[in-house]
Amino acid sequence: MADAGEPEGPERKDDIVKAKQEGKELTKEEKQRLRKEKKQQKKSKEKKDDKPSRDSEKEKKPASAASPAPQTPTQPPAQKAPSAAPAPVPVPASETPSAADKPAKSKAELKAERRARQEAERASKGKKGDVGPQAAPGKPKAPPSELQPVVKRLPEHVQVDNPEVLKKLAKKLERQQTPEYNAATKVKIPLRSDYGYKVSLFSHLHQYSRKAPLTQQLGIPSTVIHPAIVRLGLQYSQGIVAGSNARSVALLHAFKQVIRDYTTPPNEELSRDLVNRLKPYISFLNQCRPLSASMGNAIKYIKKEISNIPSQCKEEEAKRKLLNCIDCYINEKIVLAAKAIAKYSIEKISDGDVILVYGCSSLVNHILCEAFEKNRKFRVIVVDSRPRLEGREALRRLVQKGINCTYVLISAVSYILPEVSKVFLGAHALLANGYVMSRVGTSQIALVAKAFNVPVLVCCETYKFCERVQTDSFVSNELDDPDDLIVTRTGTTQLEHWQEVPSLGLLNLVYDVTPPDFVDLVITDLGMIPCTSVPVVLRVKNVDQ
């Protein structure tokens, strides 16, 4: 165990003794540390050059528990609070010299240490080679005599003027993408690079250009990724398949194709191998366009179904079962749900109504068409916004049916609202705290409707309910191609060279969140519920499954 000339050996034993004195809480930590030591012994060759520096530091700080928390300042690459996704913390706390020297630690600090160490282990599993160069330049900044945690460095998202910080952030963002090399299936997915200047508030998100598709880096014909998935990815990135339902349905159909063409390799089980096969496809699709909440739920369902296939099941039968499951899922969660929602909504639409819709939601269009067929007398106001101008498509579908429509841009919403009796909105996802995530502009409409006391009804199938919680539109969103904002009018394109203007950034957001105070009713296939009942539905769903 703690021998083989590790200089920290004796200190570890000290710590273990101390731990026993300080109570049970440390034993888990100690166990972790011992486990880590074992791992380190395997990697001891790499760390040889770090040893001397470590030794000297260790001499200065005998009893330190190599706390990762105070080490935060010494390592420039963001060691933010664990809220960020696994930060590339250089491997084990013990490797880089600790800066703090505290004899007694409070529970909170110990917890922080443990958390950071766990992250370090997680990071070390993923990036083995990365650490060497990072650890070497990491010099101890704090003077040895300091007892307090070192000066907190400014977290990176505030240091936007610093180009090196931006570069490191970009690198970190790249590494956060699912690993290039999927060791399980030996498949290498190329990374799609970001495009253009990103507005600082959203620099943690990816921004891609439609003119640089991911297929550029793949070979033709695609053997690494199933052709149906490549086709799907292209359709996503070019916007041919857009809209939450359409994307989910297309995804499920593509997976059906993958399953049809799948053959179990010898000595492998279908239930495990197929899931591994799907992983690189999902990361490919994620890079073409970030997955929506509905797609995420669909993927979870499929993975669960695949894992539940009994091992003695023959391949043909297993495939048939899976295809059947997928068909059932589409039928139940999308087609039948739409029918149920239409039935409930039609109760809410009365004759003489003026209904306001925003953008193009397949569900809302379906509801309105059904209501029209049931001979309800109403007219529709379609609100649209740039740059997507999806309202035109909604307008086309409704007018084709024969519904009386008006078309305005979102800037006219407050002028037109006095005429409106109801607002029907579609949703991309319903979050666990009751917030509605939908196309950008929806929260505006809901806000103005609230101001005018117009009821806002959100229509959403239950498969779009997601366990995530967010209260603002910054934390998690999608950045679309900034070049979409460029428009040519009367021969001149003003923003053509926007990249050359250093102080200009184009922001093309896709989603925003609407707080539940603005939403009066959510119509789902389970019935009409208030916005705050979403967690109940989620709990019920989990119990069912």
Partner 1 sequence: MELQAVLMAAGGGSRMTDLTYNTPKAMLPVGNKPLMWYPLNLLERMGFEEVIVITTKEVQKMMSTDPKMKLDVKMKLDVVCIQEDGDMGTADALRHIQQKIKTDILVVSCDLITDVALHEVVDLFRAHNATLAMLMSKAHEFTETVPGQKGKKKTAEQRDFVGVDQSGKRLLFMANEADLEDGLSIRKSIMRKHPRMHIKTGLVDAHLYCLKKAVVDFLADNKSISSIRGELVPYLVRKQFSKTTNCPKIKDDAEDQNQKKNDGSTNHGHSSCLSFSLDRSCWNDHRGDMSEAYHGGKLRCYVHIMDEGPCYRVNTLAAYIEANRLAPKLFEEVPVHPSAVISERCQMGSDSYIGAMCQIADKTSIKRSTIGNSTTVKEKVKVANSIIMHGVTIEEGCNIQGSVICSNAVIGRGADLKYCLVGNGQQIEPEGKDHWHEHTP
- Please pick, from the candidates 137, 143, 163, 219, the single residue that binds partner 1 as defined by CB under 8 A: 219
Closest approach, Cβ 353 to partner 1, in A, equals 23
The stretch near partner 1 (CB under 8 A) out of 129-137, 231-239, 449-457, 498-506 is 231-239
SS3 labels along 321-378: HHHHHHHHHHHHHHHHHHHHHHHHHHHHCCCCEEEEEECCCHHHHHHHHHHHHCCCCE
Closest approach, Cβ 189 to partner 1, in A, equals 15
SS3 labels along 125-157: HHCCCCHHHHHCCCCCCCCCCCCCCCCCCCCHH
Those residues with Cβ within 8 angstroms of residue 178's Cβ, 6 or more apart along the chain or in another chain: 189, 279, 283, 286
- Please pick, from the candidates 60, 141, 231, 376, the single residue that binds partner 1 as defined by CB under 8 A: 231
φ, ψ for residue 274 (rounded to 5)? -65, -35
Which residues in the 354-373 window bind partner 1 by CB under 8 A? 359-360, 362
Closest approach, Cβ 188 to partner 1, in A, equals 13
**Whose Cβ is closer to partner 1: residue 80's or residue 260's?**
260
**Whose Cβ is closer to partner 1: residue 362's or residue 473's?**
362
- Please pick, from the candidates 83, 106, 145, 223, the single residue that binds partner 1 as defined by CB under 8 A: 223
φ, ψ for residue 2 (rounded to 5)? -85, 55
* Position 478 contacts partner 1 (CB under 8 A): no
Closest approach, Cβ 217 to partner 1, in A, equals 9
* Position 396 contacts partner 1 (CB under 8 A): yes
Tokens of 456: 């806002």
Closest approach, Cβ 326 to partner 1, in A, equals 11
- The residue among 186, 332, 321 whose CA lies nearest residue 256 is 321
DSSP designation for 236 = H
Give the three-class secondary structure for 227: helix
**Whose Cβ is closer to partner 1: residue 203's or residue 237's?**
237
* Position 253 contacts partner 1 (CB under 8 A): yes
**Whose Cβ is closer to partner 1: residue 340's or residue 432's?**
340
The stretch near partner 1 (CB under 8 A) out of 95-103, 195-203, 230-238, 480-488 is 230-238
- Asked if 519 contacts 423 with a C-beta cutoff of 8 angstroms, the reply is no
Residue 92, preceding bond cis, omega within 30 degrees? Answer: no
Q: How many chain residues interact with partner 1 (CB under 8 A)?
A: 40
The stretch near partner 1 (CB under 8 A) out of 246-254, 290-298, 441-449, 453-461 is 246-254
Q: How many CA atoms lie within 13 A of 404 on its CB side?
A: 9
Closest approach, Cβ 514 to partner 1, in A, equals 19
- Please pick, from the candidates 66, 120, 250, 380, the single residue that binds partner 1 as defined by CB under 8 A: 250
Q: How far apart are CA 454 and CA 504, in angstroms?
A: 38
* Position 393 contacts partner 1 (CB under 8 A): yes
Q: How many CA atoms lie within 13 A of 64 on its CB side?
A: 30
φ, ψ for residue 180 (rounded to 5)? -60, -45
* Position 221 contacts partner 1 (CB under 8 A): yes
* Position 399 contacts partner 1 (CB under 8 A): yes
- Please pick, from the candidates 69, 218, 382, 427, the single residue that binds partner 1 as defined by CB under 8 A: 218
Q: How far apart are CA 29 and CA 110, in angstroms?
A: 9
Q: How far apart are CA 268 and CA 201, in angstroms?
A: 46
The stretch near partner 1 (CB under 8 A) out of 48-56, 197-205, 244-252, 342-350 is 244-252
- Please pick, from the candidates 166, 246, 369, 432, the single residue that binds partner 1 as defined by CB under 8 A: 246
**Whose Cβ is closer to partner 1: residue 117's or residue 319's?**
319
* Position 242 contacts partner 1 (CB under 8 A): yes
**Whose Cβ is closer to partner 1: residue 106's or residue 223's?**
223
- Please pick, from the candidates 392, 411, 469, 501, the single residue that binds partner 1 as defined by CB under 8 A: 392
Tokens of 352: 């003489």
Those residues with Cβ within 8 angstroms of residue 357's Cβ, 6 or more apart along the chain or in another chain: 364, 365, 368, 380, 381, 382, 383, 394, 423, 424, 425
* Position 235 contacts partner 1 (CB under 8 A): yes
Closest approach, Cβ 512 to partner 1, in A, equals 17
Those residues with Cβ within 8 angstroms of residue 162's Cβ, 6 or more apart along the chain or in another chain: none
Tokens of 59: 């001499």
- Please pick, from the candidates 132, 155, 227, 515, the single residue that binds partner 1 as defined by CB under 8 A: 227
Q: Which residues bind partner 1 (CB under 8 A)?
A: 213, 215-216, 218-223, 227-228, 230-231, 234-235, 238-243, 245-247, 249-250, 253, 256-257, 260, 359-360, 362, 390, 392-394, 396, 399-400
